[in-house]
Amino acid sequence: MGVITISRQQGSGGAGIAAQVCELLGYRYFDKRLMAEAMAQENLTEETIIDYHEDEYRLRGFLDRLLGYRRPSTIQDIGFWDKNPDLVKMPAVAVLDEHLAVWVIRAAIKRAYAQGDVVIVGRAGQVVLANEPGVLHVRVEAPLEARIQRVVERGILDPKQARQFVLERDKASAEYLQRFYGVDWSDPLLYHLVINTGKWSIASAARCIASAVEL
């Protein structure tokens, strides 16, 4: 398998696991650099980096839910290459809303999949590549208190703030997957592996995933 997707609860250690898997297998980590490369192939300018994933998503407020998001939120103005009648590439600008941003990420993920040897954390990779061969889908979870403690250990938030942060980020991630893809992100049937880092260390989880790739 040449591609691994990792869906993770906030504070479960999923990003750290992904980094170690990359080291073990010599894979690339799907980051903003790879996003930029993929976007360039989609005729977006090199200066434009669109990465509207779960960690950037915000929960819908009451009015948003009531109105059903009839007017998609504007994310930013984006640059892209257009061709004039003489077929010369010229810079142009368009307004990017949420749904177009998600489409761009989907396209970037598919580009990364075509190249192979990459680990994709979040960004609904488990759905975008659900039916593609050669992909290992992993879910990383941990007990709530263990995840809160990991966030506290970063030294930025106190326990109360960390609890609120973890719960809000998990809820936002779940809403992102449900809204844009119509799936329950915690559904175990989306994954080959579901790993509990309350039972395993980050290093053990990474070795397990690397071993699964060889099956």
pLDDT per position as a tens digit, 151-183: 999 988 999 999 999 999 999 899 889 988 999
The whole-number pLDDT of residue 102 equals 80
Higher pLDDT, 52 or 99: 99
Higher pLDDT, 87 or 6: 6
The whole-number pLDDT of residue 58 equals 58
How far is CA 136 from its chain centroid?
15
**Helix, coil or strand: residue 75:** strand
Q: Which residues contact 169 (CB under 8 A, 6 or more apart)?
A: 10, 54, 55
Q: Estimate the crossing angle of helix 14-25 against helix 202-213, to 10 degrees.
A: 50
Q: What is the mean pLDDT of residues 39-60?
A: 54
The whole-number pLDDT of residue 69 equals 45
How high does pLDDT run on average in the chain?
80
Contact 134, 156 (CB under 8 A): no
Task: Kindly report the CATH number assigned to the domain that includes residue 21.
Answer: 3.40.50.300
Q: What DSSP string describes 146-173?
A: HHHHHHHTTTSS-HHHHHHHHHHHHHHH
Higher pLDDT, 12 or 47: 12
How many domains does one find in the chain?
1
pTM for the whole structure: 0.78
pLDDT class of 32 with cuts at 50, 70, 90: confident
> Given a cut of 80, is residue 202 above it in pLDDT?
yes
Q: CA 79, CA 93: separation in Å to the nearest integer?
A: 5
CA atoms within 13 A on the CB side of 38: 24
The predicted-structure confidence for 67-116, as pLDDT tens digits, reads as follows 444 444 444 444 443 444 444 444 444 445 667 778 878 888 998 899 89
Give the tokens for residue 22: 């990359």
Contact 96, 50 (CB under 8 A): yes
Q: Where in the sequence is the domain holding 196, given as residue range(s)?
A: 3-213
Q: What is the mean pLDDT of residues 184-207?
A: 96
Q: CA 212, CA 177: separation in Å to the nearest integer?
A: 25
The whole-number pLDDT of residue 97 equals 61
The whole-number pLDDT of residue 34 equals 74
Share of residues in the chain with pLDDT > 70 (%): 70
